[in-house]
Chain A
Amino acid sequence: MTDVERLFRTYNAALVRYLTRRLGDRDWAEEVAQETFVRALRQTSIQNERAWLFAVATNLVRDEARKDMRRRKHLALLAEQERDEVVEPEETTLERAQDAAMARKAVDALAERDRLALLMREEGLDYNEIAEALQLSPGSVGTTLSRARRRLVESYESLQKSREEREKNAAS
């Protein structure tokens, strides 16, 4: 097994999940992950594999997003509107879709650095790896993560509250 194969088997699932959460699109996430492993092929030596892979993936997303950010934002907005309009026949599916939409909104409300740090942490990266990938000082990772978590939960809860109010109004 070559080194890239090992890297792929070890980190692909976490990387794709991280990118999917970051981008909101699994296909796009898989493409970025593949491109990340292609870049790893060209690398002669990688010190911290996980930190390197997440850093490269994050940069690829950032570069691509910079290229056509406006177009993607517009499309993501359209897709979101469509998601909101679609009434799924099964209640569980509807609930799950609504949860996903709120989570997406809450995550998108975070600052980019907070969001990436949180997503990396969720994939098991330790503070040093996150610091390396995001070029932060290791001492600030705790602060970044605590801020990201608090803001994420708070914005999610406020979204939840407004939805409950909407449903209450619709019922009465």
Chain B
Amino acid sequence: MQHLDEGTIHAWLDGALAPDEAARVEAHVAECPQCAAAVAEARGFIAASSRILTALDHVPRGVVPLARPARWSNPAMWRAAAAVLVVAAGSLVVVRNTGRDFKAGYTLTETPDTAPVLQSAPPITILAKPSQGTAGSAVQQNVSPAQKSVEKRVATDAAAPAEQTLATTRSRVAESGNAGALSSRPNIVASDNSVAAAPTAPAVSDSAEKVSPASGYASIQPARPPIVLRGNLTALRAGDSLSALGPLKVVGRPRQVGARITLYEVTPTDTVTLTEFMNVQLESVVVTGMSAPTTQRIEGQAAGKAAAAPSPQRADAPVAARQDSQREAGGMAGAEQARARAVPAPVTAVGTANGVTTVTWTDASSGNVLKLSGRLPLAQLQQVKIRIERERAAAAAAAKKNP
């Protein structure tokens, strides 16, 4: 028999031969070493080619891209998603960095036009007048140097309910008043005045010093609308308890361009951050400041919280001021408003974000915007604010005496 051809050997190994032919091949392979070697080789080829073809199964999808252009949208979509992520992360950083500035910015930009601010101004104007000595305005006609006339004006201008409030307040003061509290009161009121009245603060505190302590609270308090007084009283009580706590510990002063930052330690675990924005920066902040609606929201928030807050001038003042302007119909109110518009009046804004409470207000002596923030309840933060203001006032007074 002839030697087996390769095709027959493969057909035999693949089981494709008819039984009789397969038997013939088997018999030949058994006695022919050459064909046996060929069969062994063929087995190797079959196994090897199977293995090689298996390697073809590990093909990536989409090796031939143009047949299905839709597949190219996948990488594009990934790129788009990545771009969105980058932009989102970037804007988050920007918002976080500018968040502080924008809060400060609104104070300057929005104050002159907002009604509560205008209406909280009148009492300050009256107090400031005598020391400023401006002549000829409608305001001045109403203001006499003596404390009495101021008192009289309040008495005539304020509505009956307001007078009742004043009486109530007086009796509350009497109830709570011990000697120490009474003697410390003028100072506190003065410092509160300095918060409220931006550029005229020295005059205010001067007049406060003159009348205290001999004439007591009554001589100062009528200078402000009675309803405002109630707020001062709260602050006053808080101040009394705070006075025993001693000075706040300064734990750090991180540097920042355009702002002075002071870290105060309230308790070993709680620190608050006081940021004083310099006027230079405020100009630029106005440009970058965000939208008015946000500001309005904060203002509303502040007004809403004011009843509970220790300094509720903003919430209560409009009531008195509106009565005021109704009675005087134009004249004085108009002049006051004009003044208030020219002077950046004080604003206390309160905000809470991520557990951090922030109080923003305008410093009376410097006109700078101050921002106090910390992980504290609002009431506690307000107390810290009063302590800081007191310390700042003391430091300013010391600097005045020893230039």
In angstroms, how far is the closest chain A Cβ from the Cβ of B386?
62
Give A56-74 as 1s and 0s: 1 = Cβ < 8 Å from B's Cβ atoms: 0000000000000001100
B63 with A25: CB separation less than 8 A: yes
Contacts of B257 in A (CB 8 A): none
B52 with A142: CB separation less than 8 A: no
In angstroms, how far is the closest chain A Cβ from the Cβ of B389?
61
B residues contacting the other copy or chain, number (CB 8 A): 32
Give A149-163 as 1s and 0s: 1 = Cβ < 8 Å from B's Cβ atoms: 110110010000000
Partner of B46, one of A102, A106, A107, A149: A149
B66 with A141: CB separation less than 8 A: no
CB of B335 within 8 A of chain A? no
CB of A41 within 8 A of chain B? no
A27 with B68: CB separation less than 8 A: yes
B7 with A142: CB separation less than 8 A: yes
Contacts of B6 in A (CB 8 A): 143, 146-147, 150
Chain A residues numbered 69-95 whose CB sits less than 8 Å from any CB in chain B: 71-72, 75-76, 79
B48 with A156: CB separation less than 8 A: yes
Report the bound CA distance from A26 to B56 in whole Å: 10
CB of B376 within 8 A of chain A? no
CB of A17 within 8 A of chain B? yes
Report the bound CA distance from A28 to B64 in whole Å: 8
Partner of B58, one of A23, A100, A140, A143: A100
In angstroms, how far is the closest chain B Cβ from the Cβ of A75?
5
CB of B45 within 8 A of chain A? yes
CB of A134 within 8 A of chain B? no
In the complex, which of the residues B9, B46, B64 has the most CB atoms of chain A within 10 Å of its own CB atom?
B64
In angstroms, how far is the closest chain A Cβ from the Cβ of B263?
47
Report the bound CA distance from A149 to B62 in whole Å: 28
Report the bound CA distance from A153 to B10 in whole Å: 15
A142 with B11: CB separation less than 8 A: yes
B57 with A153: CB separation less than 8 A: no
Give B24-53 as 1s and 0s: 1 = Cβ < 8 Å from A's Cβ atoms: 000000000000000000101110111011
Report the bound CA distance from A106 to B52 in whole Å: 9
In angstroms, how far is the closest chain A Cβ from the Cβ of B35?
13
CB of A34 within 8 A of chain B? no
Report the bound CA distance from A152 to B48 in whole Å: 9
- Interface residues, chain B, with chain A CB atoms under 8 Å away: 5-11, 14, 16, 42, 44-46, 48-50, 52-53, 55-59, 61-68, 71
